[in-house]
């Protein structure tokens, strides 16, 4: 076992050179002066930082190839962003070799982006309380709901494509804190397992259907009592009866109405959908203005 693992971390240099050199050529010279050995050294450091190890030499070589291609893409993007920053350019965000840097973009999309649920609202289901029309008064110059204690710790959906459930619980957690003064982490797993009329668990869904489910069920349980398992499961009917937090409705902000979106988030953390299909989303680092929604999350400020 020890010698086999040693082989995974100490591949023949020729294999590494072939992988990284092919990536440099395919990347179109994103990092013109970076050698294959430089990519290898950076990959070793990245693996140590993120605790990555691979079962076979072939898998490691494939991960190195993806990493080197992503490194070239990141360098090219950030160079362009820096060049355009002083000239009113549109690239207002930077990229980095984050925890997903050893995945190809197709692999990332398959593992991390859930599909959206589609279909009409069934008869008898709770409906939206209408469109959000604003009229909330003056909006503050700056606001961060984390500073008000209305946001739980960061959650990780892992390889389960149920971003919709995390977005829904985040908004409900926020309004519950604002209304009652109590911040409770709510159960994404209950939504994944039990909200199956139109949502599809780790296969994708929509926050609006999650809100309808919680309204019809009379509430939702806590994450502590019904914890996230990063996989679809059978609905726990006993947990389903625990209505720790309730909501009585929701409103939808009309598309392309940024003034109304600003007013909405000034009242509470809200659910939003963004385009997650762009390659830059995989390697995003900070301040993005990345339209077809493929990733669902919560807006805090």
The full length of the chain comes to: 301
Q: What b/e sequence results for 92-109 when a residue is b if at least 16 CB atoms lie within 10 Å of its CB, and e otherwise?
A: ebbbebeebbbbbbeebb
Phi, psi of 32, deg, nearest 5: -65, -30
Output the CA torsion sign for 289, 153, 296, 210. Answer: negative
Lowest mean pLDDT of 60-69, 183-192, 196-205, 280-289, name the range: 280-289
pTM (two decimals): 0.73
Q: What is the pLDDT of residue 281?
A: 87
Architecture of domain 105-301: Alpha-Beta Complex (3.90)
Residue ranges of domains in the chain: 2-102, 105-301
What mean pLDDT is predicted for residues 64-88?
Answer: 85
Q: Which residue has the higher pLDDT, 112 or 255?
A: 255
Phi, psi of 61, deg, nearest 5: -65, -40
Instruction: With a cut of 80, say whether residue 285 has pLDDT above it.
Output: yes
Lowest mean pLDDT of 48-62, 82-96, 202-216, name the range: 82-96
Under 8 Å between Cβ of 64 and 43: yes
Q: What is the mean pLDDT of the chain?
A: 81
Tokens 């020729």 sit on residue:
14
User: Count of alpha carbons within 13 Å of 290, Cβ hemisphere only?
Assistant: 22
d(CA 11, CA 5): 10
């Amino acid at each position: 076992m020890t010698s086999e693992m040693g082989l995974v971390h100490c591949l023949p240099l020729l294999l590494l050179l072939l992988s990284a050199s092919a990536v440099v050529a395919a990347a179109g010279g994103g990092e013109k002066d970076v050698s294959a050995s430089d990519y290898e050294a950076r990959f070793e450091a990245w693996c140590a930082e993120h605790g990555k190890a691979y079962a076979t030499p072939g898998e490691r070589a494939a991960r190195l190839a993806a990493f080197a291609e992503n490194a070239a893409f990141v360098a090219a993007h950030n160079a362009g962003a820096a060049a355009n920053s002083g000239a009113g350019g549109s690239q207002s965000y930077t990229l980095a070799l984050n925890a997903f840097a050893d995945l190809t973009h197709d692999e990332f999309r398959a593992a991390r982006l859930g599909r959206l649920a589609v279909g009409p609202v069934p008869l008898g289901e709770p409906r939206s309380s209408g469109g959000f029309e604003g009229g909330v008064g003056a909006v503050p110059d700056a606001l961060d709901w984390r500073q008000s204690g209305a946001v739980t710790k960061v959650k990780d959906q892992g390889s389960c494509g149920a971003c919709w459930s995390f977005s829904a619980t985040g908004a409900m957690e926020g309004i519950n804190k604002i209304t009652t003064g109590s911040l409770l982490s709510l159960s994404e797993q209950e939504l994944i397992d039990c909200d199956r009329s139109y949502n599809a668990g780790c296969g994708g869904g929509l926050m609006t259907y999650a809100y309808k489910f919680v309204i019809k069920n009379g509430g939702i349980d806590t994450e502590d009592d019904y914890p996230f398992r990063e996989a679809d499961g059978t609905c726990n009917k006993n947990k389903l009866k625990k209505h720790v937090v309730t909501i009585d409705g929701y409103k939808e902000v009309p598309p392309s109405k940024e003034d109304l979106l600003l007013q909405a988030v000034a009242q509470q953390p809200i659910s939003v959908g963004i385009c997650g299909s762009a390659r830059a989303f995989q390697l995003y680092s900070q301040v993005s203005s990345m339209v077809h929604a493929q990733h669902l999350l919560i807006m805090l400020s």
